[in-house]
A and B are shown apart, each in its own frame.
Chain A
């Protein structure tokens, strides 16, 4: 208990003074996970909208696969991306292994199924409400998808948040493809793992607190965005 209290005090001091490499690690974590979330949203939201409105043979199988991929193990994703990006892999010539870009790629693969599957559910419910009206207006599928994505934007913010939460909290994939290199690919989760194994609990705890704080701040920001988004908007 004494050790925890001491570590906690040191952690707070670290956060307040911005000591060590704390802020650099936090900055890189945000950069990688926000980047992955943006790319995953760009891919996953249209995919979710398409599956929400489309009816085709094998759709149920696709839904099962999409839902199953939500539980992709990060280490497996890390390993697969590693195999592609390693020098002997098919994309080795790009020289991306152990770079933040490789980490963004791994996290994007990890969270795109989450964004796609959750948005599919949200948009399918919405489409159930709008479908007859849209058919009455003779809309093209792209127009239907666009309308659903816009009208479902508040719920989709939460979907994006779920994806970001998964990305920023995972350690296995970024550890494998990033390598946890100091000042280059070290992010909060890999740093926490490293510092804990070294016994530097204050830094590990400080990073843990920042991680928790970030989750709160981002959730708060999304909640604050909602009333703004719900104001009458002429689009």
Chain B
């Protein structure tokens, strides 16, 4: 049993019994700006475990969906429920990694310590995660001097500090080189294996093939298709997903 798994088990045993956050139920979700809907009656149900890859063309509403799931935005209409809890109440049990990592103007370790203090996390977990993401040797460096891949790894380590039940990732590997992408994927896969529910937005079809247990394909503000990865990639059922996977322009 890894140190992190042991920590998770101990933490769960010590904390009062909480009902699980999953399943997620989304019904008729609508959100628009200036009268134009971005999400237009989106329905979705996600089960308790695994890695869901959210795909779709630009403007389909993927990032907005993540922010709504995380309680950072409120929908114009529709309902969203984490096993009965509204998004605002569920935020504390989730973590979101943004496409552009938001790092404090401090050292790498001070960025981690900020969350350690703010959320009352065991400091030993900080050291373990820095080791896991390969940044232990850069702990004293200013976080804003890290490369793009390192900065995203730090953001991911910081997100994992709170041992979230759900990890939301908004294109965390966009504009990273292949080596950095694989490192991020390895860390996310390890979190999934420890039981963290992953919801991962990506444009990278190869990454989706490597990571996905199931795929949600968004098109024009709705779920065009939600299926197991083993079915989605060889035989997508929607025309939009088929065109997208074939490299055609999907508007």
Contacts and interface: CB of A to CB of B under 8 A. Distances in A.
Given A151-B104, A234-B110, A235-B106, A136 B142 contact: no
Nearest to B96: A136
B105 interface: yes
18 contacts: A129-B102, A130-B102, A132-B98, A135-B91, A136-B72, A136-B95, A136-B96, A137-B115, A137-B119, A137-B162, A138-B91, A139-B118, A150-B106, A233-B106, A234-B107, A234-B140, A235-B106, A235-B110
B80 to A, nearest CB: 16
A12 interface: no
Interface of A: 129-130, 132-133, 135-139, 143, 147, 150-151, 230, 232-235
A83 B40 CA distance: 64
A102 to B, nearest CB: 39
Nearest to B104: A151
Taking each of A130, A138, A151, A232, which has the highest tally of chain B beta carbons within 10 Å of its own beta carbon? A232
Contacts, number: 48
Interface string B75-116: 000000000000000011001101000101111011001110
A123 to B, nearest CB: 13
Number of chain B interface residues as a range = 20 to 34
Contacts of B237: none
Contact of B113 (A132, A136, A151, A235): A235
B102 A133 contact: yes
B96 A233 contact: no
Contacts of B105: 151
Nearest to A152: B105
A137 B67 CA distance: 13
A83 to B, nearest CB: 44
A233 B107 contact: yes
Contacts of B102: 129-130, 132-133
